[in-house]
Amino acid sequence: MANPSLLILAGDGIGPEVMAEVKKIIGWFGAKRGVTFDVTEDLVGGCAYDKHGTPLHDDTMAKAQEVDAVLLGAVGGPQYDILDFSVKPERGLLRLRKEMDLYSNLRPAQCFDALADFSSLKKEVVAGLDIVIVRELTSGVYFGEPRGIFTEGNERVGINTQRYTESEIARVARSAFELARRRNNKVCSMEKANVMESGILWRQVVQEVHDKEYPDVQLSHMYADAGAMQLCRWPKQFDVIVTDNLFGDLLSDAAAMLTGSLGMLPSASLGAPMANGRPKALYEPVHGSAPDIAGQGKANPIACILSFAMALRYSFDMGDDATRVEKAVEKVLADGVRTADLMGPEGGKPVSTSQMGDAILAALDASL
């Protein structure tokens, strides 16, 4: 059987720094577990623009469609602020999501015991937290037409359009219900049905899919602004949250702080099954390119490493090995190994990005 194939798009800023640690772990699986991945690397984002004048070359897009899974670091940076909107680094990532049709973005927020004291929320609020935000990723206001900056009379007007079809809502709702059935069987759907027609449709369709196909799953609805408040007040009331593209982007960054740092949150973006039965898939940390710390060896690689663990689970049916990686991260944190983003006001000596990766490798070795 052919080796599983991966396309690595490390991207910009801290993307290549955190991805270097994932590459070590991929190498570890070849050396110690006899699982060799066929890895191809390419450019996305600002670095692709620098080389090709576009944030995603057509050849790279074609490769992404062919491989079993894509691993992405991060894109963007202030040096690209002056570029025309159509070639900004972020457009490369959005094109990947859209053309691979990765409609279901799983963003787990799990608070490791060792970090329960570190969150900006009280320990009892976050200890043991384990929730997943399922964010719709290929539609909504990030893609709707019309869009643009136009002139009306003697002033400019910026327009984006929130647009959802019922089939787009139904398919992401199904993925949330399926996930809930494998967890604690609870879904909370978040929208703004009180002020947006797209929110009214969202609520109706989620309820219909539930009633027809998933009546066994406990479903609730919440306005997304109240949901943001409840995420901070008592996040453990949730199991799976399903929401649209924009609200999911905001709520997942907020959820990151329940876990201690944005550097901790992984994600899986999944689409329909391919001919080999694996879903179309891209795995990336929730964070961005962190220009404020890029190039300094300070970035926390855990979000990117946990994204690779999600690839093992969702693309390669290697759930035990995914758990092995997650346990290695847990062990390292329990041993007190911390990158700078995980240091409290009391200080201490943070480890570098590569030292964190090495500590996780050592924990993996110890797991054999």
Ligand X SMILES: NC(=O)C1=CN([C@@H]2O[C@H](COP(=O)(O)OP(=O)(O)OC[C@H]3O[C@@H](n4cnc5c(N)ncnc54)[C@H](O)[C@@H]3O)[C@@H](O)[C@H]2O)C=CC1
Ligand Y SMILES: CC(C)CC(=O)C(=O)O
> Taking CB within 5 to 8 Å according to partner kind, which of ligand X, ligand Y, Mg ion, none is near residue 303?
ligand X
Residue 300, interface with ligand X (CB under 6 A)? yes
**Rounded distance between C-alpha atoms, residue 1 and residue 115, angstroms:** 41
* Residue 38 annotated as catalytic: no
Per the annotation, the verdict on 253 as an active-site residue is yes
Q: Is 103 a catalytic residue?
A: no
Contact 261, 270 (CB under 8 A): no
Q: Across the strands, what pairs with 221?
A: 189
Using alpha carbons, select from 105, 71, 138 the residue that is nearest to residue 248. Answer: 105
- CB of 45 vs ligand X, minimal distance in Å: 7
Residues 72-91 that bind ligand Y (CB under 6 A): 90
The residue whose two tokens read 């955190």 is 18
Q: Alpha helices, DSSP H only, in the chain?
A: 15-33, 46-52, 58-66, 89-99, 123-126, 166-181, 197-213, 224-233, 245-259, 302-314, 319-334, 353-366
Q: Residue 284 binds which entry of ligand Y, ligand X, Mg ion, none, with Cβ cut-offs from 5 to 8 Å by kind? A: ligand X
Interface positions, 335-354, toward ligand X (CB under 6 A): 341
Q: Which residue's CB is nearer to ligand Y, number 104 or number 351?
A: 104
Residue 249 binding Mg ion, by CB under 5 A: yes
What b/e string do you get for 226-249 counting C-beta neighbours within 10 Å, with b at 16 or more?
Answer: ebbebbeeebeebbbbbbbbbbbb
Contact of residue 291 among ligand Y, Mg ion, ligand X, none (CB under 5-8 Å per partner type): ligand X
Interaction mask 261-290, ligand Y, x per CB under 6 A = -------------------------x----
Query: Could you tell me the smallest distance in angstroms from the CB atom of residue 358 to ligand X?
Result: 16
Residues binding ligand Y (CB under 6 A) = 90, 93-94, 249, 286
Residues designated catalytic? 142, 192, 225, 249, 253
Question: What residues form the annotated binding site for substrate?
Answer: 97, 107, 135, 225
